[in-house]
Structure 1
Amino acid sequence: MTGHWSEYWKQGHITSFGSDYEKNYTGQLKDIWSNIFSQFPMGFKVLDVATGNGALPLLIQDYFSKLSVEGNVKGVDYADINLVPLVNSHINKNVVIELLGNTSAESLPFSDFEFDTVISQFGIEYSDLVISVPEVLRVLRDQGTFHAVIHHQKSVVIRYNSKLLSFLQYPEIERLVFLLKVMAHDMGEMINRQDLIRIRSCAICEKSRIEINALLSKLAAYDEISLSETGILSYVNVFFRNGLFWSIEKKLEYLAFVSKQITVYRQRLTELVEASMSFECIDTFREILNQSAVTTFSVEEVVNNTGDILAWYVFFSKDSH
């Protein structure tokens, strides 16, 4: 699972929604976390599971930026982490932030009873909860708390990403990239306007161009919004508008990049949708906690102003032993 998420975080995204939350989580999600952060004591020690590029640690430092409260936040993620967003945004030095990549939720490299609070946003549900939840309990102090915002199977987030995933399954997309590669070869080296005139009279090139346009029209008929939002249309436009006079080698390198990006995007969306939790999954979560003798557990749906489901909010506290 790590490869495509590592690729995603290397692009510098703060959240798992890319440009939708380019800077950090906002609205209802931010309000939930602000309420949780308000309960942190002086000298708090917090662990963020599946931190990505540190969205929640950065929200914590922002929350305490005008308060004289000190604390320590550690974030772990199974993928590689891009530390540049953290370095550029970590301005409140009263909150010490440390991010660890290549670290699984199922094997936390921390001592027993090390943290007051463990948090996770759209992360822990990707792990094997049978193993990761006991690990969370191990590193929590007695009466420590766990807070998580988790993907809901019926949320607008999952519906939207399921739609994009379905679109990316269309075979026309693979055919489209293949034809662009064929056309890169058939056009030959493009240097000047004379070459533009040359390829306009190239029957093979014209045949590929006509089929490419037909494929784009077909994909737009399937779902015009997804054609744009998955980046497919942009990739094609870059090839013809910016890349026409690239060398054949550079064109093929670009198309190899496009193929990789589409594959990675498809894998990431597949895992996102599969990680979303139904009511039955929440019951399983509850059963895991029951087996660990956790008695204080609550779960609720996070709903936006129009009544759409955004996520689950899960809370539990560790009993004293």
Structure 2
Amino acid sequence: MHWEQYWDVTPTLSSFGDSSDALGYPEKLLNFWENAVKSYGSDTHYLDLGTGKGALAVWIQVLLVRSMLGGSVKACDLANIDETKISSGVDELDEAIKHVEFKFNTPLERLPYPNNQFDVLASQFGFEYSDWDKSLPEALRVLKDNGELILMLHHPDSAITKDCIGGIRVLNWFFNENILNDVTTLIDLKLRNENIPFARLNEEIIHKLQTFKVLDSAEQVWFLDVMTKLSKLIININHESTKALKNLEEFIGKQITRLEDQVSVAFSKEEVTNRIKKSQVTIKSLKIEDFFVDGELFCWKVLLKK
């Protein structure tokens, strides 16, 4: 599964590695969850659905301890994540990790928890990947009466989705233009000391790279990231270079799959509403709102009350 590979190589606890926070979350998001936890008060029991490496669950646990609220935090995810690799290098977060009960290899469609166990279910970019017809009834099964389900979902017009679309375009271009195949040949020429063909092909590759038209700053980040990795390979060609290039090719392929996954679950408000209706769950209320971070559309904020 590409998500397992992604979490295995991602150092932060969330997928927002550009953030300066150790959790990888932007400040506005941290504040949202802090206000939510404080509003629910003491002795509240939480379940984080689609937790990944546990950023949201860990943050909720930190907030419970800081405010001396008691309660508990559990978290689950379909991916087979190595729990021993969940760490942050920050004492407060690492202490919180010890107190979150994780369950991996756990589909949201079959939750291993008894009925009416949790006061609050939360999910930060995880629930939308599930089969709502099965996962939503399961979520409400383990949620207590009058409990709440908070879903932060990918939005089709968000900065995150736009970045994913740009990443897909950039990464696919390297495959479509056979850049990686050309670099494979380049490595072979260098190792065989065929300097004239090497120089000629190197010039051709450079010319190809110069033809790519970056549409925005997000695409430029994706393009420069691949270029940096390729440049290091070409500058320091050795007998391990072919293997390294193969690993890079596999990594880029998995990145494309991950980005396509994210775009595919960036549902419109109408699609979110229809999925909830189609699951035939009984709820007391439903709110769907835009959520902004630093003036940019970030995601949907969905609140269901059982």
- Using structure 1 for the length normalisation, give the TM-score: 0.85
Asked if 1 retains the 8 angstrom alpha-carbon contact of 2:87 and 2:94, the reply is no
Percent identical: 24
1:215 shift after superposition:
1.8
Residue number in structure 2 paired with 1:235: 229
Residue number in structure 1 paired with 2:173: 170
| Residues 123 and 94 (structure 1), Cα distance of their counterparts in 2 relative to 1, 3 Å cut | closer
Q: Distance in 2 between matches of 1:255 and 1:139?
A: 46
User: Mean Cα displacement is larger for which, 23-32 or 220-229?
Assistant: 220-229
Higher alpha-carbon Rg:
1
Q: Distance in 2 between matches of 1:305 and 1:81?
A: 31
| Match for residue 255 of structure 2 among 250, 265, 277 | 265
Alignment of 1:48-197 (within 5 A): 48-83=48-83, 84-86=85-87, 88-89=89-90, 90-92=93-95, 96-170=99-173, 175-188=178-191
Q: Distance in 1 between matches of 2:123 and 2:266?
A: 14
Secondary structure of 1:169's aligned partner: helix
Aligned residue type for 2:305:
S
Secondary structure of 1:15's aligned partner: coil
Q: Which runs of 5+ in 1 are unaligned?
A: 190-197
| Match for residue 304 of structure 2 among 278, 295, 316 | 316
Residue number in structure 2 paired with 1:7: 5
Q: Distance in 2 between matches of 1:151 and 1:118?
A: 17
Q: C-alpha offsets along residues 204-237 of structure 1, whole Å, 9 cap, x if unaligned?
A: 1112101110121122556675254252111111
Q: C-alpha offsets along residues 113-162 of structure 1, whole Å, 9 cap, x if unaligned?
A: 11111100011011111111001001111111111111111111111211
User: Mean Cα displacement is larger for which, 211-220 or 133-142?
Assistant: 211-220
- Using structure 2 for the length normalisation, give the TM-score: 0.89
Q: Distance in 1 between matches of 2:121 and 2:218?
A: 38
Asked if 2 retains the 8 angstrom alpha-carbon contact of 1:13 and 1:22, the reply is no
| Match for residue 300 of structure 1 among 267, 289, 299 | 289
Secondary structure of 2:15's aligned partner: coil
Q: Distance in 2 between matches of 1:22 and 1:212?
A: 38
| Residues 275 and 43 (structure 1), Cα distance of their counterparts in 2 relative to 1, 3 Å cut | same
Secondary structure of 1:120's aligned partner: strand
The count of aligned residue pairs is 300
1:39 shift after superposition:
2.6
Coordinate RMSD, CA, aligned: 2.4
